[in-house]
């Protein structure tokens, strides 16, 4: 007696899945239901079980919606007439008119040629064969894929060079080593990690895995990885099923547990950015959740006198330390410049 087993579907990189989602929603004027997205769009359909349990896939789609909106893309939810409250019939779409470039922005034929060439280079170098076939299908439906490619593709590029090597090592189930600089440390420390998931939280990429030195799970911020990520020949056997969900749950729990009280000057850059994240825009001071005290302190210090931190003390001290360091650096540079001028 033979038992049929379902092969594990190939893993689709997160940026490719988001790219495919945006292309699909741009191509459909009426929008797509969740079931249509999960069963047809690259990155979802490989894991979709028709008539089965797709709970984890639906959670993935909910996270992806947030990521798309964080990128500034107007993803809308449309409720069909007469079907109020029926979530299964909700349609998701990206209105092309709102996503197009403003009418006053124009390009010369030469500039359009350069943009088209750049889009082609990105597409050919970054997308899988299956995604390229999907673009051909869109053209067959009368959808010109060059428009969303030019407007969207460059924004999905990950800034951290560590992303690619970590993603590849995760697919191959190989351990990696990298130098990681913790806040407050003067020198980076070498880490050996079995990478289990790459997740985005508050617009920043993290790798979650097993730290072999600590023999425990850890989550690392990619922007704190210094130098190159080295893929070793050591394979690992840990199952990564649910790792992304667990890592995000831990990050969100940390986010919810930490709240800052901020006095923010109205009509400033700080107000425009922080009001969107405040628990209540009408509160004074503003209450804003955060995950990493050092990352948030870097941001707040960048606003200068536009923000005053009331609580917590650790965040306030971190911001003050950064402002004092900036003052010292500028004072030292000013003294150096003056001395150099007097010696001439």
pLDDT cut 90: percent of the chain above it: 31
Expressed in percent and rounded to 5, the helix, strand and coil fractions of the chain are: 50, 20, 30
Q: In the prediction, which pLDDT does 231 show?
A: 96
Nearest-angstrom CA–CA distance, 96 and 27: 9
Rg (CA), the chain: 24
Residue-wise pLDDT tens digits, 7-66: 556 677 787 888 888 888 887 777 888 888 998 888 888 888 888 888 888 888 988 888
Q: Are 169 and 195 in contact (CB under 8 A)?
A: yes
- Burial string for 207-223 (b: 16+ CB within 10 Å, else e) reads bbbbbeeeeebbbbbbe
Tokens of 214: 């600590």
Domain boundaries, the chain: 14-156, 163-243, 258-335
Classify residue 278 by its DSSP letter: B
C-alpha dist (Å) from residue 250 to 208, 254, 291, 309: 11, 6, 10, 25
322: pLDDT strictly greater than 60? yes
Question: What's the CA gap between 126 and 163, in Å, rounded?
Answer: 13
* pTM confidence score: 0.55
Q: What number does CATH give the domain 163-243?
A: 2.30.30
pLDDT tier at 70 (50, 70, 90 boundaries)?
A: confident
The token pair at 257 is 């547990």
Q: Identify the DSSP state of 81.
A: T
* 196: helix, strand or coil: strand
């Amino acid at each position: 007696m033979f038992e049929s087993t379902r092969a594990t579907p190939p893993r689709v990189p997160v940026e490719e899945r988001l790219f495919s989602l945006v292309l699909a929603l741009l191509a459909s004027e009426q929008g797509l239901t969740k079931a249509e997205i999960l069963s047809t769009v690259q990155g979802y359909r490989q894991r979709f079980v028709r008539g089965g349990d797709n709970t984890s896939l639906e959670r993935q789609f909910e996270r992806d919606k947030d990521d798309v909106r964080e990128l500034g893309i107007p993803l809308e939810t449309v409720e069909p007439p007469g079907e109020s409250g029926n979530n299964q019939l909700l349609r998701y779409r990206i209105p092309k008119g709102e996503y197009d470039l403003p009418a006053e922005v124009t390009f010369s034929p030469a500039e359009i040629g350069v943009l088209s060439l750049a889009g082609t280079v990105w597409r050919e170098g970054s997308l899988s064969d299956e995604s390229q076939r999907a673009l051909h299908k869109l053209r067959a439906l009368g959808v010109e894929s060059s428009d969303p490619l030019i407007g969207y593709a460059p924004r999905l590029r990950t800034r951290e060079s560590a992303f690619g090597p970590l993603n590849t090592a995760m697919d191959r189930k190989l351990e990696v080593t990298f130098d990681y600089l913790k806040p407050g440390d003067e020198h980076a420390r070498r880490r050996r990690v079995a990478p289990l998931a790459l997740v985005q939280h508050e617009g920043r990429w993290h790798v979650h895995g097993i730290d072999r030195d600590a023999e425990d799970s850890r989550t690392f911020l990619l922007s704190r990885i210094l130098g190159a990520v080295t893929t070793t020949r050591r394979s690992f056997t840990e199952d990564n099923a649910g790792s992304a969900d667990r890592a995000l749950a831990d990050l969100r729990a940390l986010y919810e547990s930490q709240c800052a009280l901020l006095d923010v000057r109205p009509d400033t850059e700080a107000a425009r950015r922080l009001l969107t994240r405040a628990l209540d825009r009408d509160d004074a001071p503003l209450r804003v959740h955060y995950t990493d005290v050092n990352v948030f302190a870097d941001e707040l210090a960048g606003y200068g006198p536009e923000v005053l931190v009331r609580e917590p003390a650790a965040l306030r001290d971190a911001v003050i330390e950064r402002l004092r360091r900036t003052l010292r650096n500028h004072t030292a540079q000013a003294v150096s410049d003056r001395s150099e001028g007097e010696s001439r």
